[in-house]
Amino acid sequence: MPHLTALSLSTALAYALLAYAYQRLSPVASRRALLCVWVLHLLALLQGLFAEPPRFGFGPALSVTVWLVLTVYALESQLYPQLRVRWGLAGLGTVAMLLAMAFPGQPYPGLRSPWLPLHWALGIACYGLIAAAVVHAWLMQRTEKAMRQGQT
pLDDT digits (tens, 9 = 90+) for 69-125: 888 888 877 777 666 667 788 888 999 999 999 988 888 777 677 677 778 778 888
The answer to the question of residue 96 being in a domain is: yes
36-42: long-range contacts, CB 8 A cutoff, minimum separation 24: 37/11, 37/90, 37/93, 38/67, 38/70, 38/71, 38/74, 40/7, 40/10, 40/11, 40/14, 41/11, 41/15, 41/66, 41/67, 41/70, 41/93, 41/97, 42/67
Residue 1 is predicted with a pLDDT of: 45
For residue 124, the model assigns a pLDDT of 84
Per-residue pLDDT tens digits for 15-47: 999 889 878 888 788 888 888 999 999 999 888
pLDDT, position 45? 87
> Total structural domains in the chain?
1
What does the DSSP assignment read for 31-53?
Answer: HHHHHHHHHHHHHHHHHHHT-SS
Q: What is the pLDDT of residue 152?
A: 56
- In this predicted model, which residue has the larger pLDDT, 6 or 118? 6
Range(s) of the domain holding residue 37: 6-148
pLDDT at 17: 93
Domain annotation covers residue 72: yes
Q: Which of 6-15, 35-44, 45-54, 60-69 has the lowest mean pLDDT?
A: 45-54
User: Do the domain assignments include residue 41?
Assistant: yes
With contact defined as beta carbons under 8 Å apart, do 22 and 89 qualify? no
- Whole-number Cα distances in Å, 16 to 21, 27, 75, 93, 121: 9, 17, 22, 8, 27
Query: Is 36 contained in some domain?
Result: yes
Residue 21 lies in a domain: yes
Q: Is residue 61 part of a domain?
A: yes
Q: Is the pLDDT of residue 2 over 60?
A: no
Assess if residue 1 is contained within a domain.
no
Per-residue pLDDT tens over the stretch 116-131: 777 877 888 888 889 8
DSSP lists the bridge partners of residue 55 as 107
